[in-house]
Amino acid sequence: MYILDFLAGKLAQSSVAEVRQTEYRVLCSGELYNGNVLTSDWRKSDVTRVLLTSPFSLYVVSRPFHDYPQELALHISVHRVTETAGQFSSTFFPDDVVARDLVSILSVLLRRHLTIATKVGVSVPGGAPPQFNLPGVLPLPIVKTTVDSAWPKHPVGVMTDGQGRVTLDDYNPPPLPVDSKKLSEVLSAITNLPRREAEAFVLASRLYAQALQLIGSAPEISYQLLISAIESLASVVLAKYEPSREEMISTKRKVVEKATTLGLTTDQANELAILACADNRWISRRFRVFIMSLVDDTLWTADSLFKLSQDLVPPREKFESVLKNIYNSRSDAVHAGLSWQETIHFGWGPAVPSSVLKHLFMGPFRDPPLVWFERVVNLALNRYLDAEGRGKLPSLA
């Protein structure tokens, strides 16, 4: 997987003639700036435009700074690679593959919808590499945005209470300060994972990035992609996971009851139940265990990205049962063609379909809001990259 070699610095270890430096333009649904720079107004400083310089360069090029969607310049360097399959071989620069995966990973780490708009520059082999570090030259914005390039911008509402106090009701992503040092460290941490787990994390990031893109336009598909993101990583990280003996017997309770009626002792019936679990892959249980091991109390605090009323957030004590319902709803949607409950629309913006409002008066939701589950997935993926968080996963030795 080229992205892992790139982050480890292996794709730049070659002669100048064999290295290509490429510039991509990336669109962000929201505003990013360098939070490590001390300034009274980040929008008036060009230094705050430099989000990252290692292991790749990322700059804000929008003018004005807060233009929506915000345009970023991504610069990467990769050397030529050769792939061989049987008698056939091909030689190419994998910059487009690396750029797409970088944007997916950044979507997870920054929790913002990022998408590549276009490739705008390629260095000449053997030529002098372009320099974009400050002080120097910053690229100018060139991308003409389209409807599919970013989340649609929500109109800002004006709320006036009975005392005449006015507040703004804004569902757009707030400005996000980027900790460049921490971001660089987390990107490096990906390469320190076992190879199979690192590859699985990249695959999960791809699914998560696609889910963010569709969160407003196709929420049912977005929900399924978020579930798949966790499932793809958990299936590798928890490949050896099995529930306890008692839990196995509990899942085959009917086998135990039938064996008992046929004259087997309790111990024999239990052993038969254990044997009946031999071909069970525990996919749903791995999904729940992975999330519940990694998600912390942050989930039950106010969200910084989506405005979701705490009345619509599933209670902590029902977290596992809610996750089980989510997985079952995905199965019903995929295998039986059933629709998700309309409640998944809550929290995306100030307006919701009229069919959703009835659920406010009907008690607990079967399917929690999509923006809430997006936060669950994002927390789990980010906590997995933290050594302390991974330490909370069940020991499979």
Tokens matching residue 88:
């056939």
Q: Are residues 352 and 391 in the same domain?
A: yes
Q: Are residues 269 and 348 in the same domain?
A: no
pLDDT in tens, 73-122: 999 988 888 888 888 888 888 999 999 999 999 999 999 999 999 888 88
| Res 128: pLDDT | 55
- Give the model's confidence band at 133: pLDDT under 50 very low, under 70 low, under 90 confident, else very high: low
Tokens matching residue 108:
């997870």
CA 372 to chain centre: 13
| Res 366: pLDDT | 84
Check residues 392 and 136 and name the one with the higher pLDDT: 392
Q: Are residues 170 and 216 in the same domain?
A: no
pLDDT in tens, 197-231: 999 999 999 999 999 999 999 999 999 999 999 99
Q: Are residues 187 and 203 in the same domain?
A: no
Boundary of a domain, candidates 128, 161, 192: 192
Boundary of a domain, candidates 280, 295, 328: 280
Q: Are residues 274 and 354 in the same domain?
A: no
Helix (H, G, I), strand (E, B) or coil at 94: coil
Tokens matching residue 7:
């982050």
Rounded to whole angstroms, the Cα distance separating 364 from 366 reads 7
User: CA dist 279 to 248, 282, 283, Å?
Assistant: 12, 9, 11
Q: Are residues 307 and 160 in the same domain?
A: no
Tokens matching residue 131:
């320099």
Closest by alpha carbon to 200, among 286, 127, 117? 286
Is the pLDDT at 140 greater than 90, yes or no?
no
| Res 230: pLDDT | 97
pLDDT in tens, 271-328: 777 787 677 777 888 999 999 999 999 999 999 999 888 888 999 999 999 999 999 9
Is the pLDDT at 9 greater than 90, yes or no?
no
Helix ranges (DSSP H) in the chain: 2-7, 95-110, 180-191, 195-214, 219-237, 245-251, 253-261, 266-276, 283-294, 319-336, 354-357, 370-384, 387-390
Q: Are residues 290 and 254 in the same domain?
A: no
| Res 293: pLDDT | 94
| Res 364: pLDDT | 67
* The pTM of the whole model exceeds 0.75: yes
Q: Are residues 110 and 200 in the same domain?
A: no
Q: Spell out a b/e string for 316-348, using b for 16 or more CB atoms within 10 Å of the CB, else e.
A: eeebeebbebbbebbeebeeeeeebebbbbbbb
Boundary of a domain, candidates 153, 174, 192: 192
Tokens matching residue 187:
């990107």
Rounded to whole angstroms, the Cα distance separating 28 from 269 reads 58
For the chain, the domain total comes to 3
What is the full DSSP assignment across 331-369? HHHHHH-PPPPGGGGTTSSS---HHHHGGGGS-S-SS--
Long-range contacts of 209-213 (CB under 8 A, 24+ apart): 209/103, 209/104, 209/107, 209/108, 209/113, 209/114, 209/115, 211/374, 211/377, 212/107, 212/112, 212/113, 212/374, 213/113, 213/115
Our CA angle for 315, 318, 320, nearest 5°, is 130
| Res 167: pLDDT | 76
Domain that holds residue 271: 248-280
Q: Are residues 368 and 236 in the same domain?
A: yes
Tokens matching residue 337:
């063609």
Q: Are residues 61 and 173 in the same domain?
A: yes
Question: Running DSSP on this structure, what letter comes out for residue 81?
Answer: E
* Averaged pLDDT, 11-38: 84
pLDDT in tens, 231-274: 999 999 998 888 777 877 787 788 878 888 888 888 887 777 77
Q: Are residues 156 and 27 in the same domain?
A: yes
* Averaged pLDDT, 161-188: 87
pLDDT in tens, 364-387: 678 999 999 999 999 999 999 999
| Res 397: pLDDT | 46
Q: What is the mean pLDDT of the chain?
A: 86
Q: Are residues 175 and 258 in the same domain?
A: no
